[in-house]
Every structure is written in C-alpha cells, then in structure tokens.
Amino acid sequence: MLGRFLIYIAFASSLFATIGYYLSFKGRKSLIQKARLSYHISAIFVILASAFLLYLILTHQFQYTYVWSYSSTDLSTPLLISTFYAGQEGSFMLWTFYTAVLGLFLMSYSRRNGYEAEVMSVYSLVKVLLLLILVVKSPFEYVWETWPNQVHEGFVPPEGRGLNPLLQNFWMVIHPPIIFMGFAAMAIPYSHAVAALLRREYLTWVKPAMPWTIFAALALGAGLAIGGFWAYETLGWGGFWGWDPVENSSLVPWLIAVGTIHTMYVQRRTGAFARWNLGMSILAFILVLYSTFLTRSGVLGDTSVHSFVDPGMWVYLLLISLILTFSFIGFGLLFARRKEIPKVKVESDLLSREYNLFLASALLLIVAGFVIVGTSSPIITKILQGKASAVDVSYYNKTTLPLGIIMALLIGLAQTMWWRRTNPEALMNSLLFPTAAATVFTSILIVAGVREVLMALFVLTSSFAFFVSLRIAYKIARGNPKYIGAYLTHIGVALFFLGVIASTKYDKTQVVSLPKDQAINVFGYKLTYIGNQKIDKEKVAYNVKVEKDGDSFIAPLQMYFSEYNQGVMRHPYIFSLLNYDIFSNPNLLAFLVKNTLTNDLYLSPMSLEKSGGFNPHTTGDLIILDKNQEKVVGDYTLKFIRFDMSSEDMAKMMSGQDFAIGAVIEVTYKGKKQQVIPKIFYRNNMPVPEGVKVGDKQLTFVNLNVESGQIAVSLRSNGAVSEFQDEPVEVLVIEASVKPFINLVWFGVIVILAGFVVSMIRRISEVKK
Amino acid sequence: MKLKIVVGSVLIAGFIIFGAYSFMESNVKYVTIEEAKKTTRKVQIVGEWVKEKESYYDARTNQFIFYLKDDNGDVVKVVHNGAKPNNFEIASHVVVKGRYVDGIFESQEILTKCPSKYQSADALKQYQN
C-alpha cells in the first residue's frame, strides 16, 4: 500500500505544481511559491517511491508482482539493483525518477534565467503523465492483485522468477540508467521550446536550451554506445548494431537532438532558423515518446526477435494520449505562432557555414526519418496490407549508406566554411591537404581490397572528414582548447565511420568443428576444444584453448539451456582489448595488444556434436518398428517392447534439461535372443543417439513417436563405424570470426562523447556570462 | 532563390522515392508455402515445426534442417543457415525468413514465438500447494 500511496501523492502534487506554474505564468505571480513547493514535494515522493521499490527488491519482498517477476535470492547486489529497471513498470519508475531529479536542477537554472514559470509548467506536465502511467501500471502491485483468482491474498512466494540471464551483465547494469537519463533530459529542450512559444521569446531561448540539448544527446549517445557494446560482447549478435526496434528507438531522438544542436549553433550566432529549432526540439521529445510507444505498447509484438510484452489496454491508450498531448501542445503552439516568429534572413550562399550547418541538421532529420519509418514498418504494413510485417535489416543499410557518405562529406566541408561567405580560394587552400590525404588513404585501401564503389566512396569521404577535423582540432588545441568540442566529436564520427566500414564489411567468419583435444588452425590461431564444465547451476562453459606464438589462453564459451528463457543461450568469447579477463590474467593484456589491436577474434559456440555417432545422411534406411510387432531385417528379427525412461530423465525432459530416452528392443540373431536398450541423448535439445552392438551390426535408435508407439531405428554393419572411429568423440562447433578495426568503433564513440562533454562545458559557461 | 527551392524539392522528392522504393523492396511479406514457391523474393512464412519428420543440425555446413507446416497444411523442408534457434522446442509457432529455391526453403532468419510467460501465474502455483 505504501508504494502506491507515495505514487499518488507524487502524482497529485506534480499536477498541482503544473497548474500553479501555469497560473503564475498567466499573471497570478503569488502562486509560484506554492508551485515550487508542490514540485519539491512531488520530487521527494518520487524519490521515496523509488527508494521504497529498491528496498523491496533488496529485501526480496516477493509478494510484489514486480519483485517476484524479475529477481531472486541468488542474485548479486549489483544485479539485484539492476532488476529495478528490468521490467516495464520499473523502467517507467526510473524515467520518472530522473525527470523528478533533473527538474530540481532545471528549476533553479530557469529561475536564474528568468523563465521558471513557463518552462516548469511544461516540464512538470511531463512528470504528471509519467506518474499517471505508474498509477495505472504500478510496480507496487501484489501478486494476488495481478492474479486475483489464482493466488490467495497474503501469499508470499518464497522465491522469485529470477533475472533473464541475458541481462545478467555489467553493461546491462549501467545501460538503462544512462539511456533513461537521456530520455528524461530530452523533455528539457522540449520545455524550453514550448516556453519560448508561450513567452513569445523566439530568439534568445536557444542560449540556455543548448547545454541541456547537448546533455540529453550526450546521455542518450553514451547509452547507445553501451547498448552496442553489450550486443557485441554478450548477445553474440556478432556486431554492435542490429537495427533492432529497441536500439532504433533511442537512435532516432538522438539524431534529431544532434541535428538541433547544429542549427541552434547558427541561431545563437545569427538568429536564423528559429522555427526550425523550435520544431526540432519539440520533435526530439515527441520521438522519445513515440519510440516508447513502439517498444512498450506491444504493437511490434509479432515482428521482432525481442519479446515485447503487451502491457494492456490502459498503458497503450495512455502512451498514445501522451504523444498526442505533447504534439498538440508543441506543434499546435508552433503553428499558432508561426506568423509572428521573426524570420532572420538566412545567409543563403552555398559556401556559408550557416547554410551547411542547416544541411547537416536536415540530413540528420532525413536519416532519422528513414530509421523511424523502418521501425514503424509493422504499423505501416498493417494499415496498407492488413498484415504487419517488418522490413528487413537490409533496408536500413541500403538507406543509410548513401546518407552516411553525404554526411561525411558535409562534415568535412562545413567545418572549413566561414560564416556568411567563404572565399572560394581560401576554401580550396584549406581543403588541399585533407583532399590529398584522403585520396592517398583511399587509394591504399582500394589496392588492399576495398572494391565496392559505395564503400570506396564512404572511405574517401570519411577520411576526408577525418583529416579536415584533425587539422582544425590541432590548430585549436594550440590556441584555445575550450573550443575543441565540435571538432573532437567530428574526428570521432569519422573514425567511427571507418571502423564501421572495416568491421562490418570486411570481417571474416568461418564455422569450425573442433574435435576434442585436436588442434585446428583458424585465422592464424590454433584452437583446441579441451572439455566443458558447469560454472553455475545452469551455465556450462566449453573451454577452447587458443594458441598463438607460444602464448596460450583458455576461452570459456558459454552455451546452456536457460530455464528463464526456455531456450539455449549462447555467449561468445572475444579476444579484444576490452576483455575483462585482463584483470585476472596479466599475461593476457600483452597478448591482446600484440594480436588484437587491429583484429578482434570473436568465438561463438554453435553446438556440441558427436562424431561417429548419428548423422541422418549416413544412417542408411530407417526401419520403423511398431510396438510388440516383430520385423525381420536380413538375419535379424527386431521387436520393440517399450520405451525406457527413468523418472529422473522424465523430470529433466519436462523442465527442458538434457535427458535420455531408451527403447527396449528384443533382437533375435542366429537363434539367440537378447534385449538391448539403445538410447537417444538430448544435449542442448539436440538428439545424439548412441548405438549398441548386436551381432556384427550396430543398432541405433533414431526417432520416436510416443502416441503411435512407433520408433525408427537403423541397423548397419559395425565395421563401417569402427573404420571411422571407435569411440564417438565430442565435437564443439563454433563460429570464429575476425573483426578488423572494430576498436576504431569504440575509440570513435569515446572521442565523440568526449567532444560532447567539452562542448557542453563551453555552452554552460556561456550561459553563466 | 527560386533555383534553390527547385533543387531542394527535387532532392526531397528523390529521398522520398528512394526511401519508399527501399521500403517496398525490403518489406518481407508474410506468405503461405504455396505462394512462397511461386516467387523468388525474400518472404516469410509462419508455421509449425513438424516434429515427426527429421530435424537435425549439420555441423559441417552449419545448417539446421527441419520441416515446416503452414496454416493450409502444406509442408516444406527448411534449411536454415545457422544453429538451431533458441526456444525452438517450446515455440507455439515459428517464422522463417528466406527464399524458396529448388524444393527447399532456404532460411536466413528464424523467429520463434513463445506462449507468453508473463500472463500466467503457473510458475507461482508450485509454491502454493
């Protein structure tokens, strides 16, 4: 009850704050004190509610559905804390928490800058609606409220369902807190834009809004980067980006925010693009809401690998009304005031910095447009074709590649442009070195093997962007390093592009079968599968010895059946500079620096097989045996008596673990009668039959149909098998790949984010002046 | 100024056409097995795994082979490039994406649709007796 109570108070007081702020903007100045107080109360209650949820999780109060659904007593404390935002209710709670806390900073910030009532009335409304979601979809629901007919009141489950093993990871502990910080912060540029429209103060608002926009883009960008690293490192996607709806939904608002930053910069300088900036700032937040709707409402349910939980009608409607409310306020006001927004004449010279910055902003908007259309494809196709289907990943690659090429070119050009008008001669001079360097660099890569035209072009424009940015950054670093932010970010973008090209277009992958204790050479490494062991109650590590130049390391590839996901989980092991085993194994670092600086070695487990055992291509003709009916096959008479399965195996089968099933078969050969029990072992859900010897042949139990009481067996001469191998040998099948220059991707991202930090600090100091 | 507007609108129209074309091109339609046999396009089929027929993973080629039955009752042999997907056994139905080539559906991606775990209290019941 307490949790719900805290949410209700927070909701009521934030509603009060919104109304108070709005009325005080409308002229009842005395209300501002009360509004401020209400906001503080609501923020305190949001913080208390969050603390209470955390307390419930840490003390394992499984009578709460949310706690029961995502945690269990065997989780470590950091993982336990991360279950706070493992589900929908908790992630809305986290979002609301950030909104509440950031609001406290925004309050004093806007008070200093003299527009508190306007900005806080809008911002506080965001919090009201987030709290409304928490009222409807409460993390404080009891299990007997969730399932009223199935669970009796007061029941406390002794154990929780536990956390999805995919989320049991350091990166997953820090990823959502950063992403949601970005989501929450995106409401601040929105509130600034709406406040500007309310105040009819269209020109000066970008100055105080700019640091917040950069902050929101920084947080969201950092979240995207960590999400990408998590996908690479844990999910075994083989890459850092899968154009998945969940990823796209953070990328799109990020692109818009970054686009806005470019034109805000122009507006600060010249006053131009006021309407564009208002629209973009509003759009960025609307897209945060729209993305939330896409990934949280269940509309994508049937078209993605992600499991999207259907949260129910109420949340669905609430999310839609959230989008409509804030679109109506933002775009409605913009439309109503469109005529009075001053139009500062834009410098329309093609060779001006402002024009090129506008192009950059528009280009980012177009990229975002393509991505959001693709992500919405299930909705679009549902309307057009009546049946929802998602676009293929190739759609994103196809559409973003040409835009990426143009973007890189623009990055290079725009940074050399002057304000108002660039002297063409001076432009030529400053472009000489970067163009030459990029041409040389690209030529080398073409000789080295970059043959596709678009890829070569992308390399050319990216390296051009890199050299331009590097040259300017070098000059600035010697002068006033405070101004280096933008150039640093663009160096990062160029490096990131080059890393993306190298690692995704020129990676090499090979499926390799590793028979136990037998070394196989792959990509210059010697790999040996040396056996497996359980590492906890579920997880199994398949150890592969990796050798090169006298160094040797063990790579534990994980593959196991997850109770939680009811499926086989596979975790890759990566030899890369970001491998955290360097802390426990000091020799590893030197090895990694020597071998993986330019090429990551990525090993993913595929399956465990037995050679010499079952292979449907070589088992010969199958013999179908009906229960208790004799069948004569050559010199043999076979009779299937019954299935043989221990109760222990039965239980294992029911719970999806490895198990074995046997068939009792009576074999008559040369007048001698005997009973044999060939078995099928199910390992990771893969049937592995083991034959038994009868006479001079091998009898293998291959398949079964329990309902009809039929089995399929094969009988073949023993010699054929023993010729090949006497004992079946375990074979670990893995996918090995090398990812060239993937470190450039990570390094590029870090440089981008560092640039954001520098820019943000500069813009903050400008506001203070 | 006029020229700029013309250039701008041509560019925007170009992007929209390019986007719409890519969208149509990459939109992988849901079809029946019968329809899949008639086209060379990449399509997706929803169906059930035919458990009675053979299904195995071939380590040499890294392919997972099984039979799929669609709602009309047609059955097709599916050769999937990759390991057996997660949740395959308990999936209520599976979706395969790929192309039909020479009597075989060559799948590049498999989605498994599982009965929702979130809406049932079954997992809770074990503690209640």
Mean pLDDT within A351-368: 90
Q: What distance in Å separates the CA atoms of residue A605 and residue B83, rounded to the nearest whole number?
A: 9
A305 touches chain B (CB under 8 A): yes
Residue B120 pLDDT > 50, yes or no? no
Look at A609 and B128 and tell me if their CB atoms are within 8 Å: no
CA distance A729 to chain B (A): 14
Residue A647 pLDDT > 60, yes or no? yes
Mean pLDDT within A10-23: 96
Residue among A608, A589, A484, A494 nearest A543 (CA): A608
B125 touches chain A (CB under 8 A): yes
- pLDDT level of residue A718 (50, 70, 90 thresholds): low
For the entire predicted model, the pTM comes to 0.83
Residue with structure tokens 């299935």?
A: A643
Report the pLDDT value the prediction gives residue A160, as an integer from 0 to 100.
87
DSSP string, B95-125: EEEEEEETTEEEEEEEEEE---STT--HHHH
- Lowest-pLDDT choice from A3-7, A314-318, A643-647, B83-87: B83-87
Q: What distance in Å separates the CA atoms of residue A563 and residue A657, rounded to the nearest whole number?
A: 8
| CB B68 within 8 Å of CB B50 | yes
A272-296 per-position pLDDT tens digit: 899 999 999 999 999 999 988 888 7
| CB A241 within 8 Å of CB A235 | no
Report the pLDDT value the prediction gives residue A389, as an integer from 0 to 100.
78
Residue A491 pLDDT > 90, yes or no? yes
Residue B122 pLDDT > 60, yes or no? no
Phi first, then psi, for residue B31 (nearest 5°) are -135, 170
CA distance B18 to chain A (A): 8
For A481, which DSSP code?
G
- pLDDT level of residue A35 (50, 70, 90 thresholds): very high
DSSP string, A157-175: -SS-----GGG-SHHHHHH
* Chain B residues close to A733, C-beta within 8 Å: 57, 59, 62, 83
Can you identify the CATH homologous superfamily of domain B30-113? Answer: Nucleic acid-binding proteins (2.40.50.140)
CA distance B32 to chain A (A): 13
Report the pLDDT value the prediction gives residue A404, as an integer from 0 to 100.
94
The C-alpha angle A281, A119, A48, rounded to 5 degrees, equals: 105
- pLDDT level of residue A654 (50, 70, 90 thresholds): low
| CB A151 within 8 Å of CB B128 | yes
* Chain A residues close to B67, C-beta within 8 Å: none
| CB A213 within 8 Å of CB A285 | no
Tokens standing for residue A116: 């508190």
Domain residue ranges in chain B: 30-113
Q: What are the CA-CA distances from residue A746 to residues A158, A461, A593, A662 (Å)?
A: 43, 20, 15, 51
Look at B22 and A395 and tell me if their CB atoms are within 8 Å: yes
Q: How many other β-carbons are positioned within 10 Å of the β-carbon of residue A1?
A: 7
Look at B123 and A377 and tell me if their CB atoms are within 8 Å: no
Q: What distance in Å separates the CA atoms of residue B109 and residue A353, rounded to the nearest whole number?
A: 46
- Lowest-pLDDT choice from A224-228, A234-238, A490-494, B33-37: A234-238
Closest partner CB to B59 (pick from A394, A513, A685): A513
- Lowest-pLDDT choice from A74-83, A194-203, B46-55: B46-55
- pLDDT level of residue B53 (50, 70, 90 thresholds): confident
Report the pLDDT value the prediction gives residue A158, as an integer from 0 to 100.
87
B21 touches chain A (CB under 8 A): no
A618 touches chain B (CB under 8 A): no
Closest partner CB to B124 (pick from A151, A389, A570): A151
Alpha helices in chain B, H assignment, sequence order = 2-26, 33-38, 122-125
Average pLDDT, chain B: 78
| Cβ partners under 8 Å of residue A756, min gap 6 | A214, A217, A218, A221, A485, A489
A interface test, pick of B3, B21, B28 with most A CB neighbours within 10 Å: B28
Domains for chain A: give ranges and CATH numbers.
1-163 (1.20.120), 508-611+734-742 (no CATH), 623-724 (no CATH)
Length, in residues, of chain B: 129
Residue with structure tokens 């409605």?
A: A332
| CB A224 within 8 Å of CB A240 | no
Q: What percent of chain A has pLDDT over 70?
A: 92
Alpha helices in A231-273, H assignment, sequence order = 245-270
Mean pLDDT within B13-40: 85
Closest partner CB to A394 (pick from B18, B26, B56): B26
Mean pLDDT within A391-404: 89
Please count the residue pairs, one from chain A and one from chain B, whose beta carbons lie less than 8 angstroms apart.
125
Q: What distance in Å separates the CA atoms of residue A367 and residue A346, rounded to the nearest whole number?
A: 24
Report the pLDDT value the prediction gives residue A761, as an integer from 0 to 100.
92
Q: What are the CA-CA distances from residue A499 to residues A202, A505, A749 (Å)?
A: 41, 10, 10
Report the pLDDT value the prediction gives residue B7, as an integer from 0 to 100.
78
CA distance B1 to chain A (A): 8
A635 touches chain B (CB under 8 A): no
- pLDDT level of residue A649 (50, 70, 90 thresholds): confident
- pLDDT level of residue A262 (50, 70, 90 thresholds): very high
Q: What distance in Å separates the CA atoms of residue A224 and residue A182, rounded to the nearest whole number?
A: 10
- pLDDT level of residue A232 (50, 70, 90 thresholds): confident
Report the pLDDT value the prediction gives residue A196, as an integer from 0 to 100.
94
B26 touches chain A (CB under 8 A): yes
Tokens standing for residue A714: 């094969």
A interface test, pick of B87, B94, B95 with most A CB neighbours within 10 Å: B87
Look at A389 and B18 and tell me if their CB atoms are within 8 Å: no
Residue among A677, A680, A627, A626 nearest A653 (CA): A680
Nearest chain A alpha carbon to B44: A389
